[in-house]
Amino acid sequence: MAGWETVRFDDLESFPVGDDGLQWHPIRMRLGIGAFGMNAYTSEHVGGEVVEDHTEETYGHEEAYIVVSGHATFTLGGEELDAPAGTIVFISDPAVRRSAVALEDGTRVLAVGGKRGEAFEPSAWELFFRAKHFPPEEALALIEAADGYKVDELGYRYNLAVARVRAGRRAEAVEAFRQAYELDPERVAGHAATDARLDPIRDEVSAITG
């Protein structure tokens, strides 16, 4: 092996995020990066999100955003920042609330992150999000393997239940849901109450959550 690899943005996988024309491009997964997280996001139209409104308090990550093409407006802790192509935005404090919207069609932002002073472990959100765009059995196989991912047991069991429902594995789905519920009954019951993905096992879910 040469010890290096290259890929063009246009050759990356692209998955829709919601219904607003935002596309997610999984770079870390494509290249097998193990030292830090890296993904890209493209908004198809002006006014669309290129960075969702969030903080990194859950994971404690520092993040850098690079506007690769187009033009964006960032909102950082309530302050607006004009960010044309070539702008680098570094957020050292995980508690800073951040978001960005596109000012031009096709605006693309590269996101890089990780936790200072700790070995990087990829979060399973990448796995769950990518899997839902695959055929049911293939998606379930990806989630059941979960190779190399930092797995939050509650989130993993819940998403495993959803994947098994989608693949028609009803009994196994119920068991995974039961395991998730036992870890945090209030949180899981609240989320499951409006989660249409669990409708095929709704009777069993109701029996578990009471």
Write down the pLDDT at residue 89.
98
Listed in sequence order, the residues at least 6 apart from 83 whose beta carbon sits closer than 8 Å to its beta carbon are 67, 71, 72, 73, 74, 89, 100
Asked if residue 104 lies in contact with residue 146, where contact means CB atoms within 8 angstroms, the answer is: no
pLDDT of 1 over the 70 cut: no
| Domains, the chain, with CATH or none | 9-114 (2.60.120.10), 125-209 (no CATH)
Kindly report the average pLDDT of the chain as a whole number: 94
How many angstroms separate the CA atoms of 155 and 41, rounded? 24
Looking at the whole model, is its pTM more than 0.85? Answer: no
Write down the pLDDT at residue 58.
84
Q: What is the pLDDT of residues 84-129, one digit of tens each?
A: 999 999 999 999 999 999 999 999 999 999 999 998 888 888 889 9
- Percentage, residues of the chain above pLDDT 90: 84
Write down the pLDDT at residue 98.
98
Q: Which residue has the higher pLDDT, 1 or 133?
A: 133
Q: What is the pLDDT of residues 161-178, one digit of tens each?
A: 999 999 999 999 999 999
